[in-house]
Amino acid sequence: MEYPELKEREEQIKKVIRAEEEKFQETIHQGLNILEEYIEDMINNRGKCLSGEKAFKLYDTYGFPLDLTREILEEKGLTVDESEFNAHMEEQRKRARKAREGFSDFGWENGSSIGLNKNYETIFKGYENVEWETEVIGLYFDGEIVDRIDEGEEGVVLLKETPFYAESGGQVGDTGYIQNENFVGKVVDTKKINDQTIIHFIKVKKGSIKNGDTVVSIVDRKRRSDIKRNHSATHLLHRALKDVLGDHVNQAGSIVLPNRLRFDFTHYEAIRDDQLKEVERIVNERILDSLEVKTIETSLKESQEMGVIGLFEDKYKDQVRVVQMGDYSMELCGGTHVDNTSNIGLFKIISESSIASGVRRIEAITGEASYDYLNELERSVDKVSNILKTNKKDLIERAYNVVEELKDKEKEIELLKSKMALSIADEILKAKVNINGVDLITYKVENMDMNSLRNLGDEIRNRMESGVIVLASVHEEKISFVSMVTKDMVTKGIHAGNIIKEVAKVTGGGGGGRPDMAQAGGKNINKVEEALNIVPTIIKEQLK
Ligand SMILES: [Zn+2]
């Protein structure tokens, strides 16, 4: 027996799990980047202990466990203030408890737990209105049905009719005020129970709200407008994605907030830059076309015949709401929209990514957020122009020139370095001594890394007909030793590898190599001279 439904459900679950895993990895990765920044900061400022506040931020925002933070810090010889971290944890526990005692634990998801009237269908007036006079028909405080909620308290309000949009279809709930001459209540969120009862979460700012009160409910108009712009843009985006990528594109989820929108959709390969640009261009073109936005109430069957796109979530309702934007887009939707696409303002995509196999995500902004974004961008360009001491018009050319100049300077530095090495070589050659018939040079060079030291050794060996060279240098707290022996001296029994081994040992280091060439690292930078001083003895030993 086969169960295709089960198989489909299993695929769905797997997809969700994969998306969750990817999200988790992404946040952990972000946390890691931030921890690295903290560590760099500590190293630069000679700090030894990460503040508990920062460790808590890593934990709270990025799910970074304290153990992991501690472990990574320990690797760098750093610690974390655990008692401060624990204090923050306790603080958070207290806050969470308080919130539960407030209204989060009202069981609004299953209204029955607080005796909420499950059958009441709130009349939504918010498609045409942002302000509405109505009656209070239910109040809930501290998990109980009550007659009043007093100043300073938080509770839930049921209204007979409401202009407040309840969170659904990805669009966030409205905020605003419910008030009359006796009280002012701030609505912090609006949700829906059993798909029909709209509930308002309020904080009473002044006076008391009572059951049966006549009140005016006022939606935060600006916030609603921002949400409307972003929501309407998702419709144009959905259509434009189908136009550019193909009809297989379907909405897989969305979140519409006042300051941005997020649109997830099915598509099985990466989106090219030019495709994304084309999508953005089409959406902006439809905005400038000033398309009228109309809503039509119709039957589900009829809407399907009309070729409407969208999530058929309301498949058990016979009446559906179709939102039409000119001739361009027709979508099933219960959200709030602008009256004309021109109200959306500039539509700007700010990111595109894959969130699961076959599902991609676009984040975008509209209206005021786009304006702020452009201003921010302009400020950055101004700053860069300032730093590069040019005007915006010549910025790109200037940037190219600076990069070229840097390359030239690097070449110049390389040239100077090799010239310097030659003059150092002259100096070093003067330090030649004779040990039992062997020409020996031991020399401590200032601030040179292993590579440069080896090049210098080669140079000196080339200029010496016969002999032994041992060079040392301290660079970035690290000691490098290099030893070179000419061929004739190798046949006499001198071994560069064995010399360097004993020399490095004096400073607590180690290394070795071939009879003619060897290198090693050292530890104690105060013992470099002492180490070089034992070379004559080693040579005498090797000559025996
Ligand atoms: Zn909509």
Q: How far is the CA of 123 from the centre of ligand 1 (A)?
A: 19
**How sure is the predictor about 100, in pLDDT bands with cuts at 50, 70 and 90?**
very low
Mean pLDDT across 125-154: 90
Same-domain check for residues 203 and 230: no
Q: How far is the CA of 256 from the centre of ligand 1 (A)?
A: 10
Q: How far is the CA of 323 from the centre of ligand 1 (A)?
A: 7
Same-domain check for residues 370 and 440: no
Neighbours of 174 (CB within 10 A): 27
pLDDT given at position 285: 98
Q: How far is the CA of 310 from the centre of ligand 1 (A)?
A: 9
User: Which tens digits make up the pLDDT trace of 271-287?
Assistant: 999 999 999 999 999 99
Q: How far is the CA of 418 from the centre of ligand 1 (A)?
A: 69
Q: How far is the CA of 338 from the centre of ligand 1 (A)?
A: 10
Q: How far is the CA of 237 from the centre of ligand 1 (A)?
A: 11
Encoded amino acid at 137, one letter? I
Residue 90 has pLDDT above 90, yes or no: no
pLDDT given at position 313: 56
Q: How far is the CA of 330 from the centre of ligand 1 (A)?
A: 10
Residue 6 has pLDDT above 70, yes or no: no
CA 309 from chain center: how many Å?
Answer: 33
Q: What CA–CA distance (Å, rounded) separates 464 from 456? A: 12
Q: Which of 203, 219, 235 is the last residue of a domain?
A: 219
Q: How far is the CA of 17 from the centre of ligand 1 (A)?
A: 28
Q: How far is the CA of 259 from the centre of ligand 1 (A)?
A: 16
Residue 231 has pLDDT above 50, yes or no: yes
User: Which tens digits make up the pLDDT trace of 142-178?
Assistant: 777 889 999 989 889 999 999 999 998 889 999 999 9
Same-domain check for residues 440 and 515: yes
Q: How far is the CA of 344 from the centre of ligand 1 (A)?
A: 13
Q: How far is the CA of 239 from the centre of ligand 1 (A)?
A: 12
Same-domain check for residues 83 and 148: no
More confident residue, 504 or 120: 504
Residue 98 has pLDDT above 80, yes or no: no
Same-domain check for residues 458 and 356: no
- Residue pair 239/328 in contact (Cβ under 8 Å)? The answer is yes
Residue 503 has pLDDT above 60, yes or no: yes
Those residues whose C-beta lies under 8 Å from the C-beta of residue 304, and which sit 6 or more positions away, are none
Q: How far is the CA of 423 from the centre of ligand 1 (A)?
A: 76
Mean pLDDT across 178-203: 91
Q: How far is the CA of 201 from the centre of ligand 1 (A)?
A: 24
**How sure is the predictor about 116, in pLDDT bands with cuts at 50, 70 and 90?**
low
- 396 located within any domain: no
Q: How far is the CA of 226 from the centre of ligand 1 (A)?
A: 13
Residue 340 has pLDDT above 90, yes or no: yes
Q: How far is the CA of 103 from the centre of ligand 1 (A)?
A: 29
Same-domain check for residues 235 and 150: no
Q: Which of 175, 204, 219 is the last residue of a domain?
A: 219
Same-domain check for residues 235 and 358: yes
**How sure is the predictor about 205, in pLDDT bands with cuts at 50, 70 and 90?**
very high
pLDDT given at position 115: 54
CATH number reported for the structural domain that contains residue 184 in this entry: 2.40.30.130
For a pLDDT cut of 90, what percent of the chain falls above it?
60
**How sure is the predictor about 439, in pLDDT bands with cuts at 50, 70 and 90?**
very high
Residue 109 has pLDDT above 50, yes or no: no
Mean pLDDT across 496-514: 92
- 321 located within any domain: yes
Residue 112 has pLDDT above 60, yes or no: no
- 401 located within any domain: no
Pairing of strands 161-162, 154-159: unpaired
Q: How far is the CA of 167 from the centre of ligand 1 (A)?
A: 13
Q: How far is the CA of 372 from the centre of ligand 1 (A)?
A: 24
Q: What CA–CA distance (Å, rounded) separates 91 from 98? A: 11
Q: How far is the CA of 295 from the centre of ligand 1 (A)?
A: 10
- Residue pair 85/49 in contact (Cβ under 8 Å)? The answer is no
Q: CA dist 43 to 83, 139, 476, 523, 528, Å?
A: 22, 56, 15, 21, 27
Q: How far is the CA of 336 from the centre of ligand 1 (A)?
A: 6
Encoded amino acid at 122, one letter? T
Those residues whose C-beta lies under 8 Å from the C-beta of residue 162, and which sit 6 or more positions away, are 122, 123, 124, 125, 126, 132, 134, 190, 198, 200, 217
Mean pLDDT across 448-462: 89
Q: How far is the CA of 329 from the centre of ligand 1 (A)?
A: 11
- If DSSP codes are grouped into helix, strand and coil, which group holds residue 464? coil
Q: What CA–CA distance (Å, rounded) separates 313 from 311? A: 5
Same-domain check for residues 197 and 233: no
Tokens of 98: 């308080």
Q: How far is the CA of 293 from the centre of ligand 1 (A)?
A: 10
Please give the residue range of the domain that contains residue 66: 17-104
For a pLDDT cut of 70, what percent of the chain falls above it?
92
Q: How far is the CA of 234 from the centre of ligand 1 (A)?
A: 7
Q: How far is the CA of 542 from the centre of ligand 1 (A)?
A: 89
CATH number reported for the structural domain that contains residue 295 in this entry: 3.30.980.10
Q: How far is the CA of 265 from the centre of ligand 1 (A)?
A: 15
Residue 420 has pLDDT above 60, yes or no: yes
Mean pLDDT across 176-187: 95
Q: Residue 9: enclosing H or E segment and its boundaries?
A: helix 4-44
Same-domain check for residues 112 and 181: yes
pLDDT given at position 12: 72
Mean pLDDT across 337-351: 97
Q: How far is the CA of 22 from the centre of ligand 1 (A)?
A: 28
Q: How far is the CA of 251 from the centre of ligand 1 (A)?
A: 12
Q: How far is the CA of 334 from the centre of ligand 1 (A)?
A: 6
Residue 230 has pLDDT above 50, yes or no: yes
Q: How far is the CA of 171 from the centre of ligand 1 (A)?
A: 9
- 460 located within any domain: yes
Mean pLDDT across 392-410: 94
Q: What CA–CA distance (Å, rounded) separates 146 from 130? A: 27
pLDDT given at position 298: 87
Q: How far is the CA of 235 from the centre of ligand 1 (A)?
A: 6
Q: How far is the CA of 518 from the centre of ligand 1 (A)?
A: 73
Q: Which of 341, 374, 407 is the last residue of a domain?
A: 374
Q: How far is the CA of 227 from the centre of ligand 1 (A)?
A: 10
pLDDT given at position 289: 97
Mean pLDDT across 507-517: 91
CATH number reported for the structural domain that contains residue 467 in this entry: 3.10.310.40
- 388 located within any domain: no
Same-domain check for residues 229 and 351: yes
Residue 113 has pLDDT above 60, yes or no: no
C-beta contacts of 10-19 below 8 A and 24+ residues apart: 15/356, 15/357, 15/358, 15/359, 18/356, 18/357, 19/355, 19/356, 19/359
Same-domain check for residues 254 and 340: yes
Residue 264 has pLDDT above 80, yes or no: yes
Same-domain check for residues 230 and 367: yes
- 384 located within any domain: no
Q: Which of 75-89, 236-250, 311-325 is least confident? A: 311-325
Query: Is 501 exposed, middle or buried (CB count within 10 Å of its CB: 0-12, 13-18, 19+)?
Result: buried
pLDDT given at position 222: 96
- 193 located within any domain: yes
- 337 located within any domain: yes
Report how many domains make up the chain.
Answer: 4
Mean pLDDT across 407-425: 88
pTM over 0.85: no
Residue 399 has pLDDT above 60, yes or no: yes
Q: How far is the CA of 222 from the centre of ligand 1 (A)?
A: 18
pLDDT given at position 196: 82
Q: What rounded mean pLDDT belongs to the chain?
A: 88
Q: How far is the CA of 23 from the centre of ligand 1 (A)?
A: 26
